[in-house]
Amino acid sequence: MKTIVNPARGVWKSELARPVQKSRDIEKIVKPIMRKVKRQGDKALKKFALEYDHVSIKHLPVSREEIANGKLLVSEDLKQAIIQAKENIEKFHEAQQTPDLVMETMEGVVCMRRSVGIQKVGLYIPGGTAPLFSTVLMLGIPANIAGCEEIILCTPPNKEGNIHPAILYTADLIGIDKIIKVGGAQAIAAMTYGTESVPAVDKIFGPGNQYVTAAKQLAVKKGVAIDMPAGPSEVLVYADESAIPAFVASDLLSQAEHGVDSQVILLASSEKVAQRVIQEVDLQVEKLSRKEIAKRALQNSVAVVLTNQDKAIDLINEYAPEHLIICVKEDDEEEVVSRIKNAGSVFIGNFTPESAGDYASGTNHTLPTYGYARNYSGVSLDSFTKKITYQKISEQGIKNIGPTIEIMAANEMLEAHKNAVTIRLNYLKENQ
């Protein structure tokens, strides 16, 4: 993990550059997969399972018997932890519900807005080196609260053709019973086009590797919405002398262990702070079961020393991290937090690990990466809804607003628009 001290603003972008994603090369691999699934349906999914996951799948949908058997393999401790996380995530997302908006903009003209759940949603749950059963909670719970009518969950099987028991338990706990044994770009293709076993959906959610990400972006071109563009996981920790080095190091490593293309950034107020944290990183990484992954991720990572707080905040907003951890003196905390404009999710103080948001605090862990926090929000209840507007105009209302519409339509030279009002006003004059 290299260290740079007080870098000039002009080199921030290059020094903090994310790992390069060869999107064109990846698309060349993904496009034929998408086409084959569209043409061959389940047959293609089974073929790709054999080719990529090295498993022969006879029945793609998970049976009720498999769910029941899987649940027995989950420890009571883990079940209780999942239940606690579920309760917190439900509380926070239920609180995001908004009442219908109804207002009279002028006499006789009533406008309304209502949230309506997206009918069919697809959830992609990675199941490779780290089966993300927590993501089932993060996506399934708001989908339920939003009132989505159909929820499809796709996740890759292991080499025995089974789904990770914790994924099955969590899905069943929140009422998802359409679980399909399919992973990778082919899962995204199946939810985009539909197959014999996988219904086509209106919007696809969930993290994944670069092939899944490319497939999601191709799905958009086919009229299917996605949660957000995404890249490898990342964290930026802003630490001053009040930060506890061991805590900061543990947060950096919690992201580094996600994958070799993850990136972690330490933004320190002094060289002394940076040195102490790096020493802790070197000590802690050796104890990790995924240390080789974490070490490779650290090669993409950097410690930046900026002694000027204003510049540090500017750097944070320019980088726009997926996860931002702020560990500064309490006297400075409020000001720093209030000036953050670009971040997926913010964690404040020494005792707020990023892991809390990943699992159980209540916020959602599906967040914009690769700088997309500049213009995208993380997943929330709103992600699973559409906002539909309505209006109702009375006889008096059309009299009040009609002349305004006529003038505007005439000046845009849209005669039929104007006439749609004029014909109503004339009718009212003739029938008074």
Determine the pLDDT at residue 21. 65
Determine the pLDDT at residue 222. 95
Output the 3-class SS for the chain: CEEEECCCHHHHHHHCCCCCCCHHHHHHHHHHHHHHHHHHCHHHHHHHHHHHCCCCCCCCECCHHHHHHHHHCCCHHHHHHHHHHHHHHHHHHHCCCCCCEEEEEECCEEEEEEEEECCEEEEECCCCCCCCHHHHHHHHHHHHHHCCCEEEEEECCCCCCCCCHHHHHHHHHCCCCCEEECCHHHHHHHHHHCCCCCCCCCEEECCCCHHHHHHHHHHHCCCCEECCCCCCCEEEEEECCCCCHHHHHHHHHHHHCCCCCCEEEEEECCHHHHHHHHHHHHHHHCCCCCHHHHHHHHCCCEEEECCCHHHHHHHHHHHCCCEEEEECCHHHHHHHHHCCCCCCEEEECCCCCHHHHHHCCCCCCCCCCCCHHHCCCCCCHHHHEEEEEEEEECHHHHHHHHHHHHHHHHHCCCHHHHHHHHHHHHHHHHCC
Determine the pLDDT at residue 332. 95
Determine the pLDDT at residue 300. 84
**Binding site listing for NAD(+):** 124, 186, 209
pLDDT digit string (tens) for the chain, length 432 residues: 899 999 999 999 999 998 776 677 888 999 999 999 999 999 999 999 999 888 999 999 999 999 999 999 999 999 999 999 999 999 999 999 999 999 999 999 999 999 999 999 999 999 866 789 999 999 999 999 999 999 999 999 998 999 999 999 999 999 999 999 999 999 999 999 999 999 999 999 998 888 999 999 999 999 999 999 887 889 999 999 999 999 999 999 999 998 888 999 999 999 999 999 999 999 999 999 999 999 999 988 999 999 999 999 999 999 999 999 999 999 999 999 999 999 999 999 999 999 999 999 999 999 999 999 999 999 999 999 999 999 999 999 999 999 999 999 999 999 999 999 999 999 999 998
* Neighbouring-strand partners of residue 205: 123
* Percent of the chain surpassing pLDDT 90: 90
Determine the pLDDT at residue 152. 98
Radius of gyration for the chain, computed over Cα atoms and rounded to the nearest angstrom:
26
**Binding site listing:** 124, 186, 209, 233, 255, 258, 323, 358, 412, 417
**What tokens does 405 get?**
């519409």
pTM: 0.93
Domains of the chain with bracketed CATH: 2-20+231-362 (3.40.50.1980), 23-97+117-226 (3.40.50.1980), 394-430 (1.20.5.1300)
**Binding site listing for Zn(2+):** 255, 258, 358, 417
**Binding site listing for substrate:** 233, 255, 258, 323, 358, 412, 417
Cα gap 311→237, rounded to integer Å? 15
Cα gap 232→227, rounded to integer Å? 15
Cα gap 99→113, rounded to integer Å? 9
Asked if 91 and 362 count as a contact pair (C-beta separation under 8 A), the reply is yes
Backbone angles phi, psi at 144, to 5 degrees: -65, -45
Closest CA to 391 of 179, 106, 122: 106
Type of residue numbered 229: P
Catalytic machinery residues: 322-323
365-377 confidence digits (pLDDT tens): 999 999 999 999 9
**What tokens does 56 get?**
């022969």
